[in-house]
Structure 1
């Protein structure tokens, strides 16, 4: 584990209370914005450490304008939690995991993986897509936390979600690309799904969205880096599905090492982060 910190930031274990109406809204829409999931002071303690790991892990070697659509969308660095004790405190935080479990209505959640998604100044849009086309998991109980580490102005904004699209499951297997953007935009229009974006966000605000929720993100016309950390969770006990695409075969090898279709998704990279049963008196 590479260390980029001398003192560990404070833990993130305290409860973030959810209202029944928020859990119902997530089930209905497949996404929700929660303000202040972490305080700005907490995020400020982690941001420099996470950003240093992103700097080290950035593999782009061309200017933004010379990359393809996917490359223009963001700098993407995964499994930061394995590289730093501080990053592990963030990714494995009980506070975040408990929210994920309660929104999905499950007893516990495991980590699928984390990834930083930093959109550079002048970075392009993120095309419409469904996250779960990449994940060889036999469930619809998956969820992603998306948290900015810096203020995000309305001109950059949160992601845009097609509300209710998660209830239709797999729509198209096309990976994030110009093709996925065209295909899913037509699908959204044809089905009449309402589109929702949450606008400006503060550090520590977070959106949560289901694995099948169709979503996109605008480009970054500002001169500031859009720094976002994401954490993907799956319900405890979920089994691995037979991978039916190259993307899912790659994910199986990367995020579920040593496991095979039919196994419980619980490799060494998928620790149990929250369990209601284990906390019961």
Structure 2
């Protein structure tokens, strides 16, 4: 009986309100990201973290030794759309609490899920090169945001996410895929244009939200433990699908948007609305 009560408490937390301060909203809109403390309790992270971890190791197909992997493969194990694999993972991904924060930060009327992804950086895993996520997405509006949820405390040695503040407003590097090249080109350009890079640890329960065009990266995992992170990508519920501009967007249009017609809104079965006013 007790387990049922506990689970109900967890679900209640995932759907409860988290008030984002006006200061945090203003910071997000200016800098392109924000870090928020105590968004999820240790109990929720522990319970759903173990479910997500089990799914990652069950669904992972990347088993090459680290030295044989590309830079991208060394960055993390990447498992997507866990919500379609497991009902409990779906409860976490569909959290109204997290979706409402995304809605409030962007100042829209509601958000849809684009997709989720677990990103597990193994011990000795390499850097995640500088990149902007929206390079991959055939979406018309910049009203997109990713929540980055570490499932454990994430000190600097584990490679927390770092953000180039205000970089969502510039057009540099918007045609570069994540790679050694993007790391070099963007590191040089961001430095040349004097962007401040925010690179700090994450406490347990602390999460970040970053805009689709905000440049970000992560250091290597120099610890002895995997850096376990769950992410969800949200878009304005009124987002419009645009003509793909590169081969990655062609693939994304098929995989995450079910080839819904160009100029239309995403469809509810694959991209349901998770929160709406």
Shift of 1:258: 3.8
User: 2:15 is paired with a residue of what secondary structure?
Assistant: coil
Cα distance in 2 for residues equivalent to 1:170 and 1:102 = 27
Decide whether the 8 Å contact of 1:8 with 1:86 is kept in 2.
Answer: no
Q: Which position in structure 1 is the counterpart of 2:214?
A: 213
Q: Which position in structure 2 is the counterpart of 1:23?
A: 25
Of 33-42 and 263-272, deviating more is 263-272
Stretches of structure 2 lacking an aligned partner (at least 5 in a row)? none
User: 1:222 is paired with a residue of what secondary structure?
Assistant: coil
User: 1:54 is paired with a residue of what secondary structure?
Assistant: helix
Q: How does 1:81-120 map to 2 (within 5 A)?
A: 81-120=83-122
2:196 pairs with 194, 197, 206, which one? Answer: 194
Q: How does 1:82-231 map to 2 (within 5 A)?
A: 82-169=84-171, 171-202=173-204, 204-231=205-232
Cα distance in 2 for residues equivalent to 1:169 and 1:107 = 27
Decide whether the 8 Å contact of 2:150 with 2:202 is kept in 1.
Answer: no
TM-score (norm 2): 0.94
Cα distance in 2 for residues equivalent to 1:266 and 1:193 = 37
User: 1:155 is paired with a residue of what secondary structure?
Assistant: helix
Shift of 1:172: 2.8
Q: Which position in structure 2 is the counterpart of 1:64?
A: 66
User: 1:231 is paired with a residue of what secondary structure?
Assistant: strand
Decide whether the 8 Å contact of 1:116 with 1:228 is kept in 2.
Answer: yes
Q: Which position in structure 1 is the counterpart of 2:257?
A: 256
Decide whether the 8 Å contact of 2:163 with 2:216 is kept in 1.
Answer: yes
2:79 pairs with 77, 87, 103, which one? Answer: 77
Deviations 1:198-243 (A, max 9, x none): 22431x3100000000000000011101000000000011100100
Of 39-48 and 110-119, deviating more is 39-48
User: 1:132 is paired with a residue of what secondary structure?
Assistant: helix
Q: Which position in structure 2 is the counterpart of 1:246?
A: 247
Decide whether the 8 Å contact of 1:165 with 1:193 is kept in 2.
Answer: yes
Decide whether the 8 Å contact of 1:156 with 1:200 is kept in 2.
Answer: no
Q: How large is the RMSD of aligned CA atoms in angstroms?
A: 1.5
Cα distance in 2 for residues equivalent to 1:74 and 1:93 = 24
Decide whether the 8 Å contact of 2:129 with 2:218 is kept in 1.
Answer: yes
Shift of 1:154: 2.5
Cα distance in 1 for residues equivalent to 2:214 and 2:168 = 4
Q: Which position in structure 2 is the counterpart of 1:55?
A: 57
Cα distance in 1 for residues equivalent to 2:181 and 2:155 = 28
Decide whether the 8 Å contact of 2:32 with 2:214 is kept in 1.
Answer: yes
Cα distance in 1 for residues equivalent to 2:7 and 2:115 = 21
After superposition, the Cα gap between the structure-2 partners of 1:219 and 1:225, relative to the gap in structure 1 and judged at 3 Å, is same
Stretches of structure 1 lacking an aligned partner (at least 5 in a row)? 1-5, 277-281
